């Protein structure tokens, strides 16, 4: 029997995280990191932001962004340590993906506490 590896699925999540992060993060960083603080655009009120985040679809999109970005980071960091620094140890893999899972769980908890 041939053993199936999880590596193709990790690469799939890695690429999905990279694409989603590349498409959504720049606009979010521009708005919340530059435009709103500098007064270029009038920021939404606290009540408006809570109303937007009360929508389950919005929370799901933000959760997907957080989860896929963290998996992207974990995979890139693991391969940087493995290929770049020649550090190959199963504990590194467990720590990288464990941090992504823990961060994803924290993001899910925080997003569902908004309502």
Radius of gyration of the chain (CA): 18
Residue 115 pLDDT greater than 80, yes or no: no
Measure the CA–CA gap between 46 and 103, rounded to whole angstroms. 25
DSSP character at residue 104:
H
68 neighbors 58 (Cβ within 8 angstroms): no
- Residue 66 domain flag: yes
Kindly report the pTM of this predicted structure: 0.84
pLDDT digits (tens, 9 = 90+) for 68-107: 999 999 999 999 999 888 888 889 999 999 999 999 999 9
**Domain range enclosing 73:** 7-17+45-112
**Which residues does 81 contact at the CB level (< 8 Å), separation at least 6?**
87, 92, 96
CATH code for the domain in which residue 84 is found:
1.20.1300.10
- Residue 27 domain flag: no
- Number of domains the chain is built from: 1
- Residue 77 domain flag: yes
- Residue 38 domain flag: no
Residue 6 pLDDT greater than 70, yes or no: yes
Q: Can you tell me whether residue 75 is helix, strand or coil?
A: helix
- Residue 72 domain flag: yes
- Residue 13 domain flag: yes
- Residue 39 domain flag: no
Number of neighbouring beta carbons within 10 Å of residue 45: 9
**Which residues does 99 contact at the CB level (< 8 Å), separation at least 6?**
70, 74
- Residue 35 domain flag: no
What is the pLDDT, as a whole number, of residue 9? 87
């Amino acid at each position: 029997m041939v053993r199936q590896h999880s590596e193709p699925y990790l690469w799939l999540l890695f690429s999905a995280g990279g694409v989603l992060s590349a498409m959504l993060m720049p606009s979010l960083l521009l708005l919340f990191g530059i435009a709103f603080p500098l007064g270029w655009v009038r920021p939404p009120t606290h009540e408006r932001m809570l109303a937007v985040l009360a929508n389950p679809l919005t929370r799901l999109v933000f959760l997907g962004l957080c989860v896929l970005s963290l998996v992207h980071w974990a995979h890139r960091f693991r391969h940087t340590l493995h290929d770049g620094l020649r550090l190959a140890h199963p504990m590194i893999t467990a720590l990288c993906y464990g941090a992504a899972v823990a961060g994803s769980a924290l993001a899910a908890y925080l997003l569902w506490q908004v309502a």
